[in-house]
Amino acid sequence: MDEKTLVEKLKNVVIVDDVLAVAKEAGLDWTYEQADEALGKINATKNDIAELGGDTLEKVAKEVFGI
């Protein structure tokens, strides 16, 4: 999965099961705990202060999903 597609999918995640589904689609076999940690990082990017600090979904995609 390319970065642009992954970022678009991450914009729509709401619960850990959503993250697990995206991870599976990206070819990752994650535990519930890994997906929960990723969801925390994803949610942390969904505000203006995070964006100003450089925390973006693109950054999460690279760091967490290895894209």
Residue range(s) defining the domain that contains residue 27: 3-65
pLDDT tens profile 1-54:
888 999 999 999 999 999 999 999 999 999 999 999 999 999 988 876 766 667
pLDDT of 61: 87
Task: Give the whole-angstrom CA distance, residue 24 versus residue 50.
Answer: 27
pTM of the model: 0.84
Count: domains in the chain: 1
Angle at 58 between CA 47 and CA 45, to 5 degrees: 15
Cα–Cα dist 35/42, whole Å: 10
What is the C-alpha to C-alpha distance for residues 26 and 36, in angstroms, rounded to an integer? 16
